[in-house]
Structure 1
Amino acid sequence: MGDVGIDRRAFLAGVGGITVGAGAASLTACETRPGRTSTVSGTTLVVRNFGGSYGEANRKAVYDPFTRETGVRIKVVNFAHDQMLAQIREGRPRFDVMDIDMSNLLLFAREGASEPLDYGRLKNTRNAGIPQSLLTPNGVGKSYWASVLAYRTDAFDGRKPESWADFWSLGAFPGSRALQGEVDWPELEFALLADGVPLDGLYPLDVDRAFRVLDEIRGSVRTFWEYGAEPGELLSRGSVKASSTWAGRLQHLIDDKVPLAYEWNGARRQSNGYGIPKGSANPDAAYKLIDFALRPEVQAHMARLYPDGPVVPAAYGHLTESTAMRLASTPGHLLSGFDLDIDWWLENQDAVTRRWQKWLRA
């Protein structure tokens, strides 16, 4: 699951004077600085991630193996995005690597707060099949996560909703619903899919149409959830029969035989990635860590511990089918879902967010 919620909203509110196109630096910009040694053994590299089970999985799958191989020790911090930006603006970032979602990496690039990446130093991105959209000038994708439809398998007389159109069909699939509240981008895409818009025709979003479709289901939405565990709590109690959710957040309940399931058709994918803040004290070690984390076997190890999908397709050769089918970047799921258009959302976020907040409170 991505780095979202209050942290993102605070960061977006704190970013001022964004210049569109400022992130269009060359993919081959050189990062090595005069007089900077390439010897990294014994270095302590400070990585910012959002902690919790995600941080622990990174420790086991990435950081500890990297330390054993290189001698570079890893220290983890969990600064909020506005804190990160303030430190960079002061010229004294207290972290060397950013592990954040790709939309915020784009915002950091536009603010001039991150270093252009030298892809010549990231050999594991070469011919690796990483989507071009994740190879950006100032950030490289590391994992996929997704918002999907979830439902109680005992709710609809043995039938299962197989699309967002089914989620909206209260006649065929009666019962209370839950949708995401203000914790991340509004789920306008799901309303449009329910109304017949094809996956490849979503963007630019028809905002008026999306809100009209949301109006149709408003009376049956019991809750607009605000934290990742909430859909599982609502579904397991039977408070709602179907909900949007972040893929992976229900897996422990499913493993415990709670009658829940996911539907991946129409999944909305987002990505986390790595960036290097402007003024990083240890760019050499930062490049080595990022490159290490993009090895197929390391990507696979991470996916076994935390339900985000690898960005390197070869990682799936190291995973069992049962594990692969739970991940957002499994080939079948890539075909049945779509990538959130970061550029569209950043361009339209203010107007859409105001309208969304007004609609929620109406």
Structure 2
Amino acid sequence: MHFPSRRLGVTAVAVALTMITAGCSIGSDSAGGGGKKLTFTSYGSGYQEAQAKAWLTPWAKAEGVTAVQDQPTDYAKIKTMVESKRVSWDVVDTEPFFPVGACGKYAEKLDFDKIDKSKFPEGTVSDCAVPDAMYSLALVYDPKKYPDAKPTSVADFFDTKKFPGKRLAPGFATGGAIEAALVGDGVTPDKLYPLDYDRAFKKLDTLGDNLSFWDTSAQSQQALESKQADMALVWSGRAYMAAKNGSVYEPVWQDNMLAYAVLMVPKGAPNKDRAMDFIAYATSAEPQAAFAEDQPYAAVNSDAEPKLDSLAESWNTARPDIQDKGFYQNVDWWAKNQDQATERWTDWATG
């Protein structure tokens, strides 16, 4: 599926199977070999490599489990597995919209006797998914373009008189451009949903030829590094990676849209109980800290204390001051309305 690879900034690669042997022979519980197994699926690239390093490998070694990795996450494949009763994935990293909308049908309810949901940010836990990585859609700008008055909120993204120049925004419905347009037009975050498509598209239209879009977050990072825009709405992780590579953009955290990835268990997963154990471990403090030290995503466990350098800390969306200036994308609304919103976005973008 394309939307998740846009969201997390990883490139969907051809499906490949990586076997990580953690102290025992390969084989499933039902294969007659007696081996303990768990299959973890995510989006590949450095993102999944970091998840394996921080979560999967140490957990599997400690538990004597053979860990199998697959990629990329694919919602259609999950549905096909469940409907055919041939589920091979145990834990999957996804957008929150899917397991929230498919809870009980394509996603198992989680065992909160094992998973401590008290450590997650308020509002991020659902019956069938818990967060595993946090990030934000933030406004960034080139300070050399605006040496005097500087942008201070998302509203300035739409003020081409005071802040002339090229704009860049996510080019797909779930990316946050609709929410940004409404906030920029004066809608307060608590009044955003249900989204007023007509008002949002009218606001985006005011940017005219000044506005262009990124389709993958890798494109957004490249655009920052090559200074293709004066102001951009991009994922915080990609802005951080661009900054590491020398880009000059500075963030504006007012009205940043907080978002997160989740872990879910497909309905009928062959190793459901073990999947709950893994999720409990992966979202605990130390593994979360280790992941945040490796990737440009914030830890979701409130007890996690990642050791970050000054640059990474400046983009750390778990910071209270960033959280206080932001709002969460409404996962429940998107779980019910993603298809409609995508259709409306496509009609506007191609009209």
Coarse TM-score class (shorter-chain normalised):
0.7 to 0.9
1:187-226 matched pairs, under 5 angstroms: 187-221=177-211, 223-226=212-215
CA distance in 2, matches of 1:251, 1:358: 32
1:142-153 matched pairs, under 5 angstroms: 142-153=132-143
Whether 1:92 and 2:92 are equivalent positions in the alignment is no
Gaps of 5+ in 1: 8-35
- Aligned residue type for 1:76: Q
Aligned to 2:11: none
Deviation by residue 1:338-358 (Cα, 9 ceiling, x = unmatched): 111122223333443233222
- Aligned residue type for 2:138: V
Structure 1 residue 227 displacement after superposition: 0.9
Structure 1 residue 6 displacement after superposition: 10
Whether 1:82 and 2:76 are equivalent positions in the alignment is yes
- Aligned residue type for 2:74: A
Does the aligned pair in 2 maintain the 1:152–1:235 contact within 8 Å?
A: no
Deviation by residue 1:156-189 (Cα, 9 ceiling, x = unmatched): 1254322111111112211111111127445111
Whether 1:108 and 2:102 are equivalent positions in the alignment is yes
Does the aligned pair in 2 maintain the 1:163–1:266 contact within 8 Å?
A: yes
Aligned to 2:350: 361
- Aligned residue type for 2:326: G
TM-score by length of 1: 0.82
Deviation by residue 1:71-124 (Cα, 9 ceiling, x = unmatched): 2232111142101210111111111112211111113316x12222221122x3
Match of 2:113 among 113, 116, 120: 120
Does the aligned pair in 2 maintain the 1:149–1:263 contact within 8 Å?
A: yes
Deviation by residue 1:224-281 (Cα, 9 ceiling, x = unmatched): 1111121232233332211111111132331233212222221112221122212211
Does the aligned pair in 1 maintain the 2:42–2:70 contact within 8 Å?
A: yes
Which stretch of the first structure deviates more once superposed, 247-256 or 331-340?
Answer: 247-256
**Alignment length, in residue pairs?**
324
Structure 1: 4+ residue segments shifted above 4 A: 4-7
Does the aligned pair in 2 maintain the 1:87–1:93 contact within 8 Å?
A: yes
CA distance in 2, matches of 1:336, 1:6: 21
Q: Please report the RMSD computed on the Cα atoms of aligned residues, expressed in angstroms.
A: 2.5
Aligned to 1:66: 59
Aligned to 2:322: 333
TM-score by length of 2: 0.84
Q: What is the aligned-residue identity percentage?
A: 27
Gaps of 5+ in 2: 9-28
Aligned to 1:295: 284
Match of 1:247 among 222, 236, 243: 236
Does the aligned pair in 2 maintain the 1:72–1:285 contact within 8 Å?
A: no
**Cα 1:200–1:234, aligned 2, differ >3 Å: closer, same or farther?**
same
- The 3-state SS of whatever aligns with 2:150 is coil
CA distance in 1, matches of 2:301, 2:335: 26
Whether 1:139 and 2:129 are equivalent positions in the alignment is yes
CA distance in 2, matches of 1:305, 1:288: 23
Aligned to 1:44: 37
Does the aligned pair in 1 maintain the 2:174–2:338 contact within 8 Å?
A: no
